Amino acid sequence: MIIVLSMAGVLWGVGWAIGVPRAVRFMMVALLMIAVVAMHIVLPDGHPLRENTGREPALWIFIIVAGLLGWGYSHLLHGVRARASGAPSFNYEPPENAGPFTDTELDRYARHIVLREIGGAGQKALKDASVLVVGAGGLGAPALQYLAAAGVGTIGVIDDDTVANSNLQRQIIHTDARIGMSKAHSAAEAITALNPYVTVKPYTRKLDRVIAAELVNDYDLVLDGTDNFEARYLVNEVCAKAGVPLISAALTQWEGQISLYDPKQGTPCYKCIFPQAPDRSLVPSCAEGGVLGPLPGVLGAMMAVEAVKALTGAGEGLRGRMLIYDALYAETRTISMKPRADCPVCG
């Protein structure tokens, strides 16, 4: 028995010394224990190997079961704590992105730098910027990918949902292998894989009044990709009070809309344009009414475009205007919007 435990200790210690992940080390030790049990089952009574490893397999089966239960409990407890606190539940240390561009970054962002409207100064502004994306679903997925690819230095993503099979028709930042995983963490993995030169901060929790103001104040710009009016009103209220520009988009079935709300700069806020939520029967959810798969990609990419423009000062953004896209009939139209003096949020 001492021999087997010593071997398990050596496997764990060597794995730790060479940087093998904890889960892999646990699996190596588990395989050793399973091999010992198999040996006890196959070899006859009185065999020297059985005599020197506890004689009966029952003890080793008990150790394996106890170890699995302990690992499962620890894993579950760690996940619950992470979900409650909003902290990442996987070993993840974002890279430092401060300082000048590396040669790799200069090559990566070369197509931006040669654009007259962005240039080196604009790309540095992106590197120094921080953007919070609320929701890692249909709209958040493409927006997050393009923000990361564009080199936005710090990207926060908050979502309390997990990846489901039905999401993958349109939420392209997630993969089949990550079904059941937190959307915020799934998005963080995808962003890091796409661009290791940006810092991503995943928050696995719902954006509520307890944390909303403090969180929004940490960012230069907010993108709202939520799918319900309650969340949109909260994000709008917090951004308006903090003076943080808000890019908000929404979609249903074949149509989507997008605007930039920045009352500090004289634009209306979301509440000015939508003073009250419509009846739920008039705005079916994606599950109820369906949604064209590529449509969130179109609107989400537009959100990223407006974010890059807002952060670099390029072109003319959607402040005071709403762009409406009808995918079914391939039509785009823009309407002007004005603040309401009696708006309870920004009036």
Domains of the chain: 2-85 (no CATH), 104-336 (3.40.50.720)
Which residue bears the tokens 């050596």? 10
Structure-token pair, residue 341: 């003096």
How confident is the model over 47-77, as pLDDT tens digits?
Answer: 777 666 666 767 767 777 777 777 676 656 5
> How far is 338 from 273, CA to CA, in rounded Å?
8
Which residue bears the tokens 């240039």? 119
Higher pLDDT: 61 or 175? It is 175
Query: Helix (H, G, I), strand (E, B), or coil: what is residue 341?
Result: coil
Give percent of the chain with pLDDT exceeding 70: 81
pLDDT of residue 53: 67
pLDDT of residue 66: 76
pLDDT for 89 beyond 50: no
Give percent of the chain with pLDDT exceeding 90: 65
* AA letter at 140: G
pLDDT of residue 68: 74
pLDDT of residue 134: 97
Question: In the chain, what's the furthest Cα-to-Cα distance?
Answer: 92
**Annotated catalytic residue: which of 239, 286, 343, 346?**
286
Query: Helix (H, G, I), strand (E, B), or coil: what is residue 251?
Result: strand
To the query of whether residue 286 is one of the catalytic residues in this protein, the response is yes
How confident is the model over 216-266, as pLDDT tens digits?
Answer: 999 999 999 998 999 999 999 999 999 999 999 999 999 999 999 999 999
Q: What is the mean pLDDT of residues 19-24?
A: 59
How confident is the model over 24-55, as pLDDT tens digits?
Answer: 667 777 777 787 777 767 777 777 776 666 66
First to last CA, the chain: 76
Confidence grade of residue 19 (pLDDT, cut at 50, 70, 90): low
